[in-house]
């Protein structure tokens, strides 16, 4: 996990230009509108995760690839009654447009949820979004001109990298270790970029149970990261969808709890409740929040009323934190199944030990390539995401993201056993 810019050397650039020219020629033949696309659309492509979906979803394949939450334990009868009551009692509101910032009754609840991360916000600081994915898009739209730099962990969430690419940002990675972002390296990266005259707009970070690395930023490092960014005049984009899903400990204070004026905090109900409602949020300094609301209104007019009022009612009337505890226990059992199986079947690899969330990050033995190994893995009925998906510069070949969130423990163990067979076969080549 070392520091790397998105720019490769001269040879690499020539290779990329040649590949782009070939793609353009092929594109013109296949798509009559190819030459009409905006420049940013040429950078858009299906993520390695999405293109795996069709294969990974076949029942005979054990998928350690997707990051889908396991929502089997949700109280469906309660939700069915709640939804029908909501429609009967508040139908005209539920089925109407709402305000661009989101419903106040939900924003009040969101403020309570954020208290678990020691964030003390006001409902007016919050913008409700269509999942935190839309919040990522809005923040990037509001801050990034083509060529601006975003500093992001190496590796980084693939969905954020896709957004950053769409806005033509230049992503510069900064390294992590088992305790998250390394403050000294971050300081050095920001210093070098400033010395080179590059404009860094924000640091993108997932401090808790990182997707894909599985690590958590330590308590000691949190104020250091905030101080370094403040000193360099760099905003922090703190993405925290997994924060409440810690296995053994209470949540660490969010970066936003140290300096709410220098941090845009993103939260989501996708992992602690259900992703289908598509409700997330951003909490931001007042002027930024204003811009985010304007950008959101331009994009979607208003967030889903059905989703917002359903979640507000669920939070008000159900023991939602008990549900979170049940999720924690289920994911912990799955994490244990995965790490146990890795120790048993793949001792020649290394992996991170997540204290929460959905993922572990595997480092393959020297000489193996996760991307070129994938077809053999799929033939052997196991799917994973190659580490290359999580770097803006396509590096990460020796790494694999393994998700333990979805398959039951015995399938996880079977998946790891199959993966170990694949690794052994590759080592024998
Ligand atoms: N950020 C991270 C780090 C994620 O892992 C995800 C979902 N995989 C998201 C944001 C987006 O989540 P949602 O839009 O469902 O809130």
228-256 tens-digit pLDDT: 999 999 999 999 999 999 998 889 999 99
Predicted local confidence at residue 4, as pLDDT: 42
The preferred substitution site among 212, 270, 358 for testing ligand 1, maximizing ligand atoms within 8 Å of CB, is 270
Q: Angle at the Cα of 159 (from 153 to 165), degrees rounded to 5?
A: 80
Are 170 and 185 in contact by the 8 Å Cβ rule? The answer is no
Give the torsion through C-alpha atoms of 351, 355, 359, 361, to 10 deg.
-20
CA distance 65 to 58: 12
pLDDT in tens, 145-170: 999 999 999 999 999 999 999 999 99
Predicted local confidence at residue 10, as pLDDT: 42
Q: Find how far residue 14's CA is from the centre of its chain.
A: 31
Residue 287's pLDDT band (cuts 50, 70, 90): very high
Atom of ligand 1 nearest to the CA of 358: 5
123 lines ligand 1 (CB under 6 A): no
CA distance 269 to 324: 11
273 lines ligand 1 (CB under 6 A): no
pLDDT at 117 over 80: yes
pLDDT at 208 over 70: yes
pLDDT in tens, 33-77: 999 999 889 888 776 666 677 777 788 999 999 889 999 989 999
Give the mean pLDDT of the chain: 92
Are 351 and 391 in contact by the 8 Å Cβ rule? The answer is no
pLDDT at 18 over 80: no
Predicted local confidence at residue 24, as pLDDT: 59
Atom of ligand 1 nearest to the CA of 278: 15
Full DSSP string of 59-74: TTSEE--------TTS
405 lines ligand 1 (CB under 6 A): no
* Residue with more model confidence, 212 or 22: 212
Predicted local confidence at residue 3, as pLDDT: 40
Encoded tokens for 247: 């296995």
Q: In the predicted model, what is the mean pLDDT of residues 344-365?
A: 97
Predicted local confidence at residue 44, as pLDDT: 81
Residue 399's pLDDT band (cuts 50, 70, 90): very high
pLDDT at 202 over 80: yes
Q: Tell me the ipTM for this assembly.
A: 0.99
156 lines ligand 1 (CB under 6 A): no
pLDDT in tens, 308-320: 999 999 999 999 9
Q: Are strands 180-181 and 235-239 parallel, antiparallel or unpaired?
A: unpaired
Identify how many contiguous H helices and E strands the chain contains and give both numbers: 14, 14
pLDDT at 187 over 70: yes
Are 119 and 254 in contact by the 8 Å Cβ rule? The answer is yes
CA–centroid distance, 231 to ligand 1, in Å, is 29
358 lines ligand 1 (CB under 6 A): no
Atom of ligand 1 nearest to the CA of 157: 3
Per cent of the chain over pLDDT 70 is 92
Residue 6's pLDDT band (cuts 50, 70, 90): very low
Q: Cis before residue 92, ω within 30 degrees of 0?
A: no
Among 29-33, 222-226, 339-343, the range scoring the smallest mean pLDDT is 29-33
Task: Tell me how crowded residue 1 is: count the other CB atoms within 10 A of its CB.
Answer: 22
Among 25-29, 89-93, 103-107, the range scoring the smallest mean pLDDT is 25-29
100 lines ligand 1 (CB under 6 A): no
Q: In the predicted model, what is the mean pLDDT of residues 205-227?
A: 98
């Amino acid at each position: 996990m070392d520091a790397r810019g998105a720019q490769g050397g001269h040879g690499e650039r020539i290779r990329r230009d040649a590949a782009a020219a070939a793609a353009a020629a092929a594109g013109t033949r296949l798509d009559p509108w190819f030459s009409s696309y905006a420049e940013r659309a040429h950078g858009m492509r299906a993520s390695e995760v999405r293109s795996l979906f069709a294969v990974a979803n076949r029942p005979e394949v054990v998928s350690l690839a997707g990051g889908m939450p396991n929502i089997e334990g949700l109280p469906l009868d309660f939700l069915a009654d709640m939804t029908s009551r909501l429609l009967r009692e508040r139908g005209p509101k539920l089925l109407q447009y709402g305000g661009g910032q989101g419903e106040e009754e939900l924003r009040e609840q969101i403020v309570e949820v954020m208290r678990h991360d020691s964030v003390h916000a006001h409902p007016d600081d919050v913008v409700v979004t269509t999942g935190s994915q839309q919040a990522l898009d809005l923040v990037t739209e509001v801050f990034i001109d083509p060529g601006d730099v975003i500093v992001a962990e190496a590796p980084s969430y693939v969905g954020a990298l896709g957004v950053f690419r769409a806005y033509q940002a230049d992503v510069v990675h900064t390294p992590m270790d088992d305790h998250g972002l390394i403050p000294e390296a971050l300081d050095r990266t920001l210093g070098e970029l400033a010395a080179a005259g590059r404009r860094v707009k924000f640091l993108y970070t997932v401090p808790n149970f990182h997707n894909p690395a599985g690590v958590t930023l330590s308590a000691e490092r949190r104020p250091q990261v905030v101080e370094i960014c403040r000193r360099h005049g760099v905003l922090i984009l703190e993405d925290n969808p997994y924060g409440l899903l810690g296995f053994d400990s209470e949540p660490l204070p969010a970066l936003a709890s140290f300096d709410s004026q220098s941090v845009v905090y993103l939260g989501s109900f996708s992992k602690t409740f259900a992703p289908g409602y598509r409700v997330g949020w951003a909490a931001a300094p007042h002027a930024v929040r204003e811009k985010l609301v304007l950008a959101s209104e331009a994009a979607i007019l208003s967030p889903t009323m059905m989703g917002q009022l359903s979640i507000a009612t669920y939070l008000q009337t159900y023991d939602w934190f008990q549900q979170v505890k049940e999720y924690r226990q289920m994911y912990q059992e799955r994490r244990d199944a995965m790490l146990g199986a890795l120790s048993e079947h793949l001792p020649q690899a290394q992996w991170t030990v997540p204290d929460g969330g959905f993922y572990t990050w595997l480092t393959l033995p020297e000489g193996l390539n996760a991307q070129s190994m994938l077809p053999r893995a799929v033939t052997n009925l196991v799917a994973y995401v190659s580490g290359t998906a999580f770097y803006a510069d396509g590096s990460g070949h020796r790494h694999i993201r393994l998700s333990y969130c979805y398959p039951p423990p015995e399938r996880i163990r079977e998946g790891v056993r199959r993966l170990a067979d694949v690794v052994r076969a590759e080592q024998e080549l």
